[in-house]
Amino acid sequence: MIDLDIVKKSIRNIPDFPKPGIHFKDVSTSYQDGEIMNFISSAIHEHYKDLGITKVIGIESRGFILGGILADKLSAGFIPIRKPGKLPSEIYSQSYELEYGFDTLEIHRDALDSDDIVLIHDDLLATGGTIGAAIDLVRKFGVSKIYVNFFVQLDFLKGIEKIDPTVQTWSLIHF
């Protein structure tokens, strides 16, 4: 039987990747086990199944993995938020600050409607810059409700404090 402790232990720790001082949480070791993967997607689906979600948004690229599965389980559409220059049609674009410099995320202008109930999913919350930009992008559509989900949340980096408290955020695993 899989439980949350087994899921937590399945996440591989890589010290000093991609640069010194970063402790990388490698979720690929969780996703490579069929039973664990099924437990994770079922547990997240259980949390959101009665909220009327019409669109799941996955953030490139690790947010696409569970994002796609959740969209299917919720019978919702899937929308990618991508890195610059990847989306072929008209886009909204949002830049955000990294530790050094800036990055940008993009979404298609016709991806959402104002009556959509949206679940934004990413694999991991660290400092909160990425999800902040994703929320800003989704807000441009005036959607009726935004939920945010992470597989893993790094509590010690306090990214949650950067997320607008009116946006309900829930993570399956905390470190």
Check if 62 is active-site. yes
Is 123 near ligand AMP (CB under 6 A)? yes
115, 70 in Cβ contact below 8 A?
no
**For 161, what's the count of Cα atoms within 13 Å in the CB-facing half-sphere?**
5
Check if 99 is active-site. yes
Is 106 near ligand AMP (CB under 6 A)? no
Q: Is the dihedral of CA 122, 127, 129, 132 positive or negative?
A: positive
Cβ distance to ligand AMP smaller for residue 54 or 171: 171
**Shortest Cβ distance from residue 108 to ligand AMP (Å)?**
20
In this structure, how many other beta carbons lie within 10 angstroms of the beta carbon of residue 71? 21
Beta bridge partners of 125: 153
Site string for ligand AMP, 48-87 (x = CB under 6 A): -----------x--x-------------------------
Task: Provide the binding-site residues for ligand AMP, judged by CB under 6 A.
Answer: 22-25, 59, 62, 122-130, 159
